[in-house]
Amino acid sequence: MFVNAGLLRAAPLADWTLADWQASLAVNLTAPFLFAQAAAPALRASPSPSLLFTSSTGALRGHAGMPAYHATKAGLVGLCRSLADELSPQGIRVNCLLPGWVDTPFNGPFWSHQPDRRMAERDLVGAIPLRRQGTPEELAATVLFLASPAAAYITGTSLVVDGGYTAV
């Protein structure tokens, strides 16, 4: 089972409301927890039980204006580790995918928060060793691997797929 939830909001700290914070917490951390709780019985009965969360390299790095996103995605890594410890003895593998920058509309709030989007995008791509953002297809291939029998001995891990962004 693949839990791919995400809410990204970007604003200066002073502009964040409690409602903004709680909405991010609800989508990025509470919903995956509730999904895992509800899915566990079905996963126990599955011939290939795997639970995969989408976190983010935002769990490892920070960007101004996005405190809730980074905090919740880091929390999701902790949730993954805890659930792996609890569910793996029952044969259920639990992992996290940590995508880096992927060229999709999801990143719109980040780009809108930048004073000069073109310069920010140029600087970002220059900071990625592969010198480009990832594609949805590249992440889909990683998801398929983690859900496959080829990953049968992988649990409790966070797999970073980011073109080297967090390595340098």
67 bridge partner residues: none
- d(CA 132, CA 113) in angstroms, rounded, equals 20
Catalytic one of 69, 101, 110, 165: 69
Pairing mode of beta strands 2-3, 93-99: unpaired
Pairing mode of beta strands 158-161, 2-3: unpaired
Give catalytic status of residue 69 as yes or no.
yes
**Catalytic (active-site) positions:** 69
